[in-house]
Amino acid sequence: MKIALIGYGKMGKAIEEIALSKGHEIVLKIHIDNTEAFTTEAIKNADVAIEFTSPETAAENIVKCIDAGVPVVSGSTGWLGQWNKVADFIQEKNGAFLYSSNYSVGVNLFFELNKYLAALMEPYNEYNVSLEEIHHTQKKDAPSGTAITLAEQVSQSIQSKKHWVNQPSENKEDLVILSERIDPAPGTHKIKYQSEIDDIEIIHTAHNRKGFAGGAVLAAEFLLGKTGIFTMKDVLFGEK
């Protein structure tokens, strides 16, 4: 498989290492210092693009790849305010796109655990639920996309939590997400249910970027030859 890496920072380099170890070829590497190389002709040399950039550029990058007829796996967060516009374009072009806020297989299993636990806890109003997340200081968005996904999953089951906030709050309807940025920290996410009697917690802690990078390559392998919009749930559990 020929892969274009749109974004060649720490994550892009980790993806490259795993892709090469699996016999794939990197045909394009786009980073902040060579954006002029990000041309339609160059993209078309790839079978699939893996896009890990910034909230400011992600949507434009995805559209550019789809317009060139190349499937896209994206792990950029903070751009989902443009989701509908991008999704409409993908469908119009009959393209292939896979998005996840986190490509780690462990995190995606954690997502399923989070949904199950929230459904179990919903009848027990004596427990207040909150989230914590820790990432490295170079992470540009807060809360993380993974934390937002976890919070939205909780809110779907815990009806008393109307919305999430990224600060301490005494409002019972607020689902609090507390964010920390410290080095080194590939990523930790904790969901805590707290009562006067006891606490129940589930925690996922990443030890390095290999889990995220490996999942992104797995997603690219899955996406090849498909059309439509997918998630890591499709990759891991065969939903489509």
Residue 93 pLDDT > 50 = yes
For residue 240, the model assigns a pLDDT of 46
Place of tokens 């079978």: 47
Same domain, 76 and 167: no
Same domain, 17 and 28: yes
Question: Residue 69: pLDDT band by 50, 70, 90 thresholds?
Answer: very high
What is the SS3 string spanning the chain? CEEEEECCCHHHHHHHHHHHHCCCEEEEEECCCCHHHCCHHHHCCCCEEEECCCCCCHHHHHHHHHHCCCCEEECCCCCHHHHHHHHHHHHHCCCEEEECCCCCHHHHHHHHHHHHHHHHHCCCCCCEEEEEEEECCCCCCCCCHHHHHHHHHHHHHCCCCCEEECCCCCCCCEEEEEEEECCCCCCEEEEEEECCCCEEEEEEECCCCHHHHHHHHHHHHHHCCCCEEECHHHHHHCCC
Residue 21 shares a structural domain with residue 69: yes
What is the percentage of the chain residues whose pLDDT exceeds 70? 99
- Reading the block at residue 224, the tokens are 């090849």
Q: Which residues pair with 131 in a beta bridge?
A: 177, 191
Query: Count of domains in the chain?
Result: 2
Out of 47-51, 66-70, 183-187, which region has the weakest mean confidence (pLDDT)? 183-187
Q: Does the structure show a pLDDT above 70 at 13?
A: yes
Residues 198 and 214 in one domain: no
Distance CA(170)–CA(180), nearest Å, equals 20
Q: 57 with 112, same domain?
A: no
Q: Give per-residue pLDDT as tens, 115-167.
A: 999 999 999 999 999 999 999 887 777 898 889 999 999 999 999 999 999 99
Instruction: Please give the share of the chain, as a percent, with pLDDT higher than 90.
Output: 82
CATH of the domain at 150: 3.30.360.10
Do 99 and 7 belong to one domain?
Answer: yes
CATH number of the CATH domain containing 55: 3.40.50.720
Question: Domain span at residue 10?
Answer: 2-103+210-237
Same domain, 193 and 112: yes
Joined together, the tokens standing for residue 117 give: 């636990």
Instruction: Give mean pLDDT, residues 51-78.
Output: 95
Q: What is the C-alpha separation between 131 and 117, in angstroms, rounded? A: 14
Residue 104 has pLDDT above 60, yes or no: yes
Mean pLDDT for the chain?
94
- From residue 26, alpha-carbon distances to 6, 80, 211, 223 in Å are 11, 27, 19, 17
Residues 6+ apart with CB under 8 A from 128: 172, 193, 194, 195
CA angle (228, 215, 43) in 5-degree steps:
55
Q: Are residues 22 and 82 in the same domain?
A: yes
Do 47 and 133 reside in the same domain of the chain?
no
Residue type at 80 in one-letter notation? L
Indicate whether 93 and 82 sit together in one domain: yes
pLDDT for 239 = 53
Residue closest to 100 by CA, chosen among 110, 85, 113: 110
For position 129, what pLDDT does the model report? 97
Same domain, 38 and 71: yes
Query: Tens of pLDDT along 193-223?
Result: 999 999 999 999 988 888 889 999 999 999 9
45 CB-side CA count, 13 A: 12
151 and 65 together in one domain:
no
Q: Which residues are annotated as catalytic?
A: 135, 139
The per-residue pLDDT for range 167-202, each reduced to its tens digit, is: 999 999 999 999 999 988 878 999 999 999 999 999
